[in-house]
Amino acid sequence: MIDAHGIGEIVAAYQKHGWILRRVLLSPASKVVLEDAVKEVFKRVLVVDSDIDAVWFSRPPMRGGVAWEIRYLGDIPFALLENLDEDGPDFESGLHAVELKLGQSILAKKSA
């Protein structure tokens, strides 16, 4: 798990390139450790209890759906990108599917 400063740097880098911080996924342990960051860096963003620590960014669409990228906040820098229709009925399940894929990918990388 990275610290609050590292998270702030990730958020700033994404924002520099037009990405908008939309959601934060935090494990209960990380939520305690990052309590101040949750209040300061994530004050206007939905923070969700999760098994993985990650942040969701989106940016305006170029073509097709809105680009959503989930960035893992652990010791292995890793991200997944998905184009999703925010107005579609499967939007939330689409996000959840990408979160599951991220978790599986992280486990595979750690066990390799």
**What does residue 40 show for φ and ψ, rounded to 5 degrees?**
-95, -60
pLDDT digits (tens, 9 = 90+) for 19-75: 999 999 999 998 888 887 777 777 788 889 999 999 999 998 777 678 999 999 988
The contacts of residue 97 (CB under 8 Å, 6+ apart) are none
CA 104 to chain centre: 15
Q: 32, 38 in Cβ contact below 8 A?
A: no
**pTM score of the predicted model:** 0.89
Helix (H) or strand (E) holding 95: helix 91-111
